[in-house]
Structure 1
Amino acid sequence: MDYLIAIVLFAISSSVTPGPNNITIMASGVNFGIRRSMPLFLGICVGFAVMLLLVGIGFGQIFEKIPTLHIFIKFIGTLYLLYLAFLIATADEITMSNTPAKPLTFMKGALFQWLNAKAWVVATGAIAAFTTVGVDFYTQNIIIALTFLVISFPCVGIWLFFGSTLKKRLKSKQHRKVFNYSMGGLLVISVIPVIKELSVQLTQ
């Protein structure tokens, strides 16, 4: 029981804190509302649980044997996050163009986890902290993944609801633009530690 409580507390603290997932879903809630953001919301929650399961099964071991592969994925992921920050910052401008902006899909939300540096840190940290090799290892992985799946819905959902609530208050295009630039800026700030780590790894 103590084991499960520990996982739940870890899942809550890591899922509800600011990061690329929550910033992205809040920005989507502001710009598209809850209903149109649901595919992205489900993609984030389900995608991270699947990622956790796969990391536990073997991806962590692969990266230990081929560290350059991990660096490559982290580099591509950082570029994608910076591009996503640009899309969030300019979302209001895109909405005003002739082609209506579209929220991210379920699949993009799920695949986004593999390019999300925070998701990697949380996934590897959870597997390292809450599994014991040789002692029902795969059962432990499934428990961790299911716990995060259940916990992520209310934790990420708070950010989506908050974004949707803000939408009612940010009726001014100028206010919406300021918000989007702020969210884009926060996403860039969340990537800075990864960029620093990458620069160290690439110069070694």
Structure 2
Amino acid sequence: MLTYCLVMSGTPGPNNVMLAMLGANQGYRSSLPFIFGINMGLFLQTVLCGLGLGSLLLAHPRLHAVLRLVGVAYLLWLAWQMARTRTGTQARAGRQPGFWQAAAFQAVNPKSWIKALTLGAVFMPAGMPPLAGALLIGLVGWAIGFPCNSVWVMFGAGIRGFLADPRRQRAFNALMGLTLAVLAVSMLRT
């Protein structure tokens, strides 16, 4: 379970692409609410999947397919917004996504659903009361996810100096938007 959480939390996906961009555009400290929101949303998603929501989605493939399509459509819209993000002082002065946006985003993030469904279906501890088991796998996901998310933000913050040139920052934002779009389209195949 630890290895699975590390791979899912540390590899590129919609959350991590957005975290790298947030780090580059606004730094680590300003990105903390978004990191906490991602982890809270994933925690709740994992607990609910451990308590049976995952079984409901697996039993109703059409519901799962609709959720996937809505998630991919939202990711494509978000990719477009990321690619168009303003640079420099204008970007920092604009409305930045925070805790609640990040937590709610997990409901349409296909990679988050894959992680939560797998944790709930494969890693629920045998012989443990369902709520306790669901809370345990949710907490393990949080404990692994938070540092992984922080690394992505620190990567973005680390390249801020390089992105001081507005042309580079626009190119970076466009690249992050394109990366998110590619990830979204690839999720249609899973």
* Fold in common (TM above 0.5): yes
Q: Does 1:60 align with 2:49?
A: no
Aligned CA-pair RMSD: 2.1
Q: 2:77 aligns with which of 61, 74, 83?
A: 83
Distance, in Å, in 2 between the alignment partners of 1:15 and 1:66 is 27
Q: How many residues align?
A: 190
Distance, in Å, in 2 between the alignment partners of 1:143 and 1:120 is 18
Which structure has the highest helix share of the two?
1
Q: 1:26 aligns with which of 4, 20, 23?
A: 20
TM superposition outliers: structure 1 runs of 4+ over 4 Å: 93-97, 132-135
Distance, in Å, in 2 between the alignment partners of 1:81 and 1:170 is 24
- More off after superposition, 112-121 vs 53-62: 53-62
Percent identity between the two aligned chains? 30
- Which secondary structure state, in structure 2, belongs to the residue aligned with residue 195 of structure 1? coil
Q: Structure 1: where are the runs of 5+ without partners?
A: 1-6, 198-204
Amino acid at match of 2:178: G
Distance, in Å, in 1 between the alignment partners of 2:126 and 2:63 is 24
Task: Decide whether aligned partners of structure 1 residues 86 and 102 sit closer, same or farther in structure 2, where only a CA change above 3 A counts.
Answer: same
Distance, in Å, in 2 between the alignment partners of 1:126 and 1:102 is 34
Q: Structure 2: where are the runs of 5+ without partners?
A: none
Task: Decide whether aligned partners of structure 1 residues 94 and 73 sit closer, same or farther in structure 2, where only a CA change above 3 A counts.
Answer: farther
Q: Superposition pairs for residues 36-47 of structure 1, below 5 Å?
A: 36-47=30-41
8 Å contact kept, 1:20–1:118: yes
8 Å contact kept, 2:47–2:120: no
Q: Superposition pairs for residues 1-204 of structure 1, below 5 Å?
A: 7-92=1-86, 96=90, 100-131=93-124, 136-196=129-189
8 Å contact kept, 2:33–2:99: yes
Show CA shifts across 1:104-132 (max 9, x none).
Answer: 12111001111111111111112222126
Distance, in Å, in 2 between the alignment partners of 1:192 and 1:92 is 25
8 Å contact kept, 1:31–1:91: no
8 Å contact kept, 2:38–2:99: yes
* TM-score after normalising by structure 1: 0.85
Distance, in Å, in 2 between the alignment partners of 1:140 and 1:109 is 25
